[in-house]
């Protein structure tokens, strides 16, 4: 058992090797959490996340697991319990996409996205809920997508998974509230990451033109929102979906484009 983890709140962030997951891990560490950094296969990037946490005075633990595999999720949470004996915050950030127009979508594309983006979150929530309900406190934050709110061509599999995630979060919030456990969904809009840097300039400008605030979000902004939702300042929030997309989906839902 880690003695530091006994004195600090403990947060597990899935898919924390880079991008938004890394930013969330750094933000939580800066706020005094002992952070468990989960990664699927990119150990080098995950170790870079650890380095950044430690440079900012954070404490951490690195744990590999593919959340689409129930046995690996079980091993992940067993390691968390063995090392920390508690879990205060779970951020379900890990996700994949296999974008393809529906008539060209393969069974494998469908299965892989649903296995990670929906079933993987279910596996993690189930294990976390057992730890948190026993302690009668905890917060689960699921990272959603605006694809759940407005249709995107070529994202039938991804949009389905993220839409179902909203129902999972709301239902779980209702069940776990009497146990002192809160569940929320945070939906980022287009966010500047290393992955989005590969988007062609013309496409990027087109997306910005559809955002009322006329800019993409920054990972640090989303990370601060997640940290707020996890904090005591948000203790009356549960079952809620918080959208941080510069107003895009609100505009689309209002005007249909």
Q: What is the CATH number of the domain that holds 113?
A: 3.40.50.720
Q: What is the C-alpha to C-alpha distance for residues 62 and 234, in angstroms, rounded to an integer? A: 28
Higher pLDDT, 78 or 209: 78
Higher pLDDT, 196 or 192: 192
- The mean predicted confidence, pLDDT, of the chain is 91
Number of domain units in the chain: 1
pLDDT of 6 higher than 80:
no
- Model confidence at 150, pLDDT cuts 50, 70, 90, reads confident
Find how far residue 52's CA is from the centre of its chain: 19
CA dihedral sign of residues 111, 18, 165, 216 = negative
Provide the pLDDT for residue 217: 84
For residue 216, count other CB atoms closer than 10 A to its CB: 20
For residue 72, count other CB atoms closer than 10 A to its CB: 18
Alpha helices in the chain (DSSP H): 3-7, 19-30, 43-55, 70-84, 107-114, 121-135, 156-176, 201-209, 219-230, 248-255
Domain that holds residue 90: 3-255
Residue of 33, 34, 101, 158 marked active site: 158
H or E element in which residue 191 lies = strand 191-192
158 is catalytic: yes
Is pTM, for the whole model, over 0.75? Answer: yes
From its phi and psi, is residue 231 left (phi > 0), alpha (psi between -120 and 50) or beta?
beta
């Amino acid at each position: 058992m880690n003695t530091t983890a006994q004195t600090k709140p403990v947060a597990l962030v899935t898919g924390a090797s880079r991008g938004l997951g890394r930013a969330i891990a750094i933000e939580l560490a800066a706020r005094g959490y002992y952070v468990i950094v989960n990664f699927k296969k990119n150990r080098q990037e995950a170790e870079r996340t650890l380095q950044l946490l430690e440079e900012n005075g954070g404490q951490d633990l690195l744990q590999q697991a593919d959340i689409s595999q129930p046995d690996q999720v079980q091993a992940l949470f067993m390691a968390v319990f063995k090392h920390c004996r508690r879990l205060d915050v779970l951020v379900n950030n890990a996700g994949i996409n296999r974008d393809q127009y529906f008539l060209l979508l393969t069974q494998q594309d469908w299965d892989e996205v649903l296995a990670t983006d929906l079933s993987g979150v279910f596996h993690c929530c189930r294990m976390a809920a057992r730890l948190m309900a026993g302690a009668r406190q905890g917060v689960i934050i699921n990272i959603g997508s605006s694809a759940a709110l407005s249709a995107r061509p070529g994202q039938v599999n991804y949009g389905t998974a993220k839409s179902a995630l909203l129902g999972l979060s709301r239902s779980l919030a209702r069940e776990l509230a009497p146990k002192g456990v809160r569940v929320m969904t945070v939906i980022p809009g287009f966010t500047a990451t290393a992955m989005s840097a590969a988007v062609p300039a013309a496409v990027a400008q087109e997306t910005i033109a559809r955002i009322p605030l006329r800019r993409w979000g920054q990972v640090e902004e989303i990370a601060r929102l997640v940290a707020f939702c996890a904090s005591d300042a948000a203790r009356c929030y549960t079952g809620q979906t918080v959208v941080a997309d510069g107003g895009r989906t609100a505009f689309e839902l209002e005007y249909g484009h």
